[in-house]
Each structure stands twice: as C-alpha cells, then as structure tokens.
Structure 1
Amino acid sequence: MKWILYDIGGVLEIVDDDDWPLSLHERWSARHELTVTELRARLHAAELPDMALRSGVADEYWRKLGAALGADSATIATMHSEFWDAYCGKANVELLDHARSLRDRAGLAILSNSGDGAREEEERRFGFASLFDPICYSHEQGIAKPDSGAYLTALRRMGASAEQVLFIDDHEEPVRGAEDCGIRAILHRDNETTIAAIETFLAT
C-alpha cells in the first residue's frame, strides 16, 4: 500500500508559519505596552518549556508566560485563544477533500512539527483523526523535522517502507530531510500542483 504523508501548517491548514508568530508578538507587545524586543526578552527570561518537543507542559508554559507579562487570568485566556487561532489558521478544504477521495487508494498520515495542545485544538477544529492515521506530532514524539528520527518514527507507525511514501511539506528543509531518508517528497506551493503530484505518485 502507498501512503501520502502530509504536513499540517501551510499544507492541510492555510496559515503562514513564518509570519504568524511575529504578528502575534506584535499584538501582545502592544497590549502590554512593550516593544516586540522587550516582550521576547521577557519570554526568554521566563524559561518557558519547549512545547514543540514535550507534551504535558502547556499549563506550565501559559502560567510562566502570564507571570512574565504580569497578565491576569482573563488576559491569558485571550492570549491562549489568539495563539491557537493564529497557529491553526483555517482548513485547506480543497486538499482535505482530495485526501478524502484517496481513502480507498492509499494510507493517509500526518507528520507535523507541533506545539503541546495541537492535537486537541486541531481535532476540535478540523477533525483530522477521522481521515489520518497515524498523526505524528513532534511534541508527542520528542523529535522534529528535519531530524531523520521524525521520519523514521512516522514510517514505523505507518508500517511502511520509505519507497511507499510521498511526503508533502511547505518548507524546503523538511522536504530534504524526508529525501535523505529515502522518502519521495514534494514542496507544497499550491493545491493544483500538489494534487497532480499525488495522483502521479499513486499511478506509478
């Protein structure tokens, strides 16, 4: 069986992962009457846990963030909501609909660099678990793309060999990381090109 292995942000979700963190920090710094540099200095000094490679640390993260900014619980709740709205963006409906059309033709899986809480938030918003299995998050696996261990863990969980898989990501480094593991990979630029690449892969 062939597999299609998708990234989330910038692929299954319409969101610019290179832009939203700065936009969020600009909003937060204005709210607290800080510059972005000052806000980032406070967050750095707070020694926030690494949510990208650890699970079960979200409560600690937001508690420390709130303390660093002197924010009350209502403000932290607002910031938490803003964070996930920015992180998740909106569903790439066309690509998700195409993935649904493949369920009888290929295995469908996800490999995503993530933050603690992403599984719950993305499931609530998009219901990924009804379509993709496995869903491999970096914060749960403790390893992130482009480290080879991220791809090898995904292959083990899929029960697939590298040549059975097509990986799709919107950044070049993860694409190269997959290729270094023998996985065919494409750089997602637009839905039309990606869907054509998927169909070609499944037809060969």
Structure 2
Amino acid sequence: MKWILYDVGGVLELVDDHSWPQDLQESWSGRLGLSVDDLQARLDAADLPDTTLQTGVADEYWRKFGAALRISDAEVAAMRAQLWDAYCGQANDELLDHARSLRGRAGLAILSNSGDGAREEEERRFSFSTIFDPICYSHELGIAKPDAGAYLTALKRMGASAEDVLFIDDNVGPKAGAEKCGIRAVLHRDNAATIAAIERFLAD
C-alpha cells in the first residue's frame, strides 16, 4: 500500500509558521506594555520547558510564563488561547477534502513538528483522527524533523517502506530530511500542484 504523509502547519492548516510567532510576540508586547526585547528577556530567564520535544509539560510552561510576566491566571488563559488560534490557523479544506477522497487508495498519515497540546487543539478544531492514522507529533516522539529519527518512527508506525511513501511539507529542510531517508517528497506551495503530485505518485 502507498502512503501520503502530511505536514500540518502550512499544509493541512492555512498558517504562516514563519510569521505568526513574531506577530504573536508583538501582540503580547503591546498587550502588556513591554518592549519585544523585554518580553523575550523575561521568558528567556523563566526556564520554560521545551514543549516541542516533550509531552505533559504545557501546564508547567504556562505557569512559569505567567510568573515571568507577572500576569493573572485569566490573562495567561487568554494568551494561551491566542497562541493556539495563531498556531492552528484555518483548515486547508481543499487539501483535507482531497485527502478524504484518497481513503481506500492510500494510507494517510501526519508527521509534524508540534507543541505540547497540539493533538488536542487540532483534533478539536479539525478532527484529524477521522482522516489520518498514525498522527506523529514531535512533542510526543521526542524528536523533530529534519532528524532522520522522526521519519523512521513514522515509517515504523505506518508499517511502510520508504519507497511507498510521499511526504508533503512546506519547508525545504524537512523535505530534504525525508529524501535522505529514501522517502519521495513534495515541497507544498499550492493545493493544485500538491494534489497533482499526489495523483502522479499514486498512479506510478
């Protein structure tokens, strides 16, 4: 069986992963009356856990976040919700609909760099588990793209050989990482080109 392995942010979700963190930081700075540099300095000194490679650390992260910025629990909750809105963006409905249409023709899976809590937030918003299995997140794997271990773990969970997988990502580094593992990869730029590449792969 052939598999289509998808990244999330910038592919299944309409969001610019390169700009939203900075936009969010600027929004928070203005909200709290701090300069961006002061905000970052406080967070850098807070010994925040790495949420991208660990699970179960989100509450600690936000508790330390609130203490570092000297804000109330209600303010922390509002900023936490703001982060997830920025992180998740909007569903790429065209690509998700195409993925649904592939059931029975290909296995469908996700491999995404992520933050602790992403599975719950994306499931609540987009119901990814109704389309994709397995869903491999970096914060649960303890390893992130483009490290070879991320792709090899995904292959193991899919029960697939590298040559039977097409990986889709919107960043050059993760695409190259997949190719080093023998996985064919597509750099996502627009839905039409990506869908055409998927169809070519399945027709081979």
Same structural fold, with TM-score higher than 0.5 when normalized by the shorter chain: yes
Q: Is residue 34 of structure 2 the alignment partner of residue 38 of structure 1?
A: no
CA distance in structure 2 between the aligned counterparts of 1:32 and 1:47, rounded to whole angstroms: 20
Measured against aligned partners, the alpha-carbon deviations of 1:17-67 in whole angstroms (never above 9, x if no partner) come to 000000100011111111111111111100100000000000000000000
CA distance in structure 1 between the aligned counterparts of 2:34 and 2:161, rounded to whole angstroms: 50
Q: Which runs of 5+ in 2 are unaligned?
A: none
Q: Which amino acid aligns with 1:161?
A: S
1:175 counterpart residue number: 175
TM-score in terms of structure 1 length:
1.00
1:191 counterpart residue number: 191
Q: C-alpha root-mean-square deviation of aligned residues, in Å?
A: 0.4
Identity score, percent: 73
Q: Is residue 203 of structure 2 the alignment partner of residue 203 of structure 1?
A: yes
| Residue 183 (structure 1) shift | 0.2
Measured against aligned partners, the alpha-carbon deviations of 1:130-187 in whole angstroms (never above 9, x if no partner) come to 0000000000000000000000000000000000000000000000000000000010
CA distance in structure 2 between the aligned counterparts of 1:45 and 1:30, rounded to whole angstroms: 20
Moved more, 138-147 or 36-45: 36-45
| Residue 10 (structure 1) shift | 0.1
CA distance in structure 2 between the aligned counterparts of 1:115 and 1:29, rounded to whole angstroms: 22
Q: Which amino acid aligns with 1:203?
A: A
1:98 counterpart residue number: 98
1:60 counterpart residue number: 60
- Secondary structure of the equivalent of 1:103? coil
1:98-117, aligned counterparts within 5 Å? 98-117=98-117
1:120 counterpart residue number: 120
Measured against aligned partners, the alpha-carbon deviations of 1:54-88 in whole angstroms (never above 9, x if no partner) come to 00000000000000000101100100100000000
1:19-30, aligned counterparts within 5 Å? 19-30=19-30
- Secondary structure of the equivalent of 1:167? strand
- Secondary structure of the equivalent of 1:185? strand
- Secondary structure of the equivalent of 2:189? coil
Q: Which runs of 5+ in 1 are unaligned?
A: none
- Secondary structure of the equivalent of 1:55? coil
Q: Which amino acid aligns with 2:171?
A: H
CA distance in structure 1 between the aligned counterparts of 2:37 and 2:3, rounded to whole angstroms: 43
2:16 counterpart residue number: 16
Structure 1 segments, 4+ long, off by >4 Å, are: none
CA distance in structure 2 between the aligned counterparts of 1:97 and 1:79, rounded to whole angstroms: 31
Measured against aligned partners, the alpha-carbon deviations of 1:84-125 in whole angstroms (never above 9, x if no partner) come to 000000000000000000001000000000000000000000
- Secondary structure of the equivalent of 1:109? strand
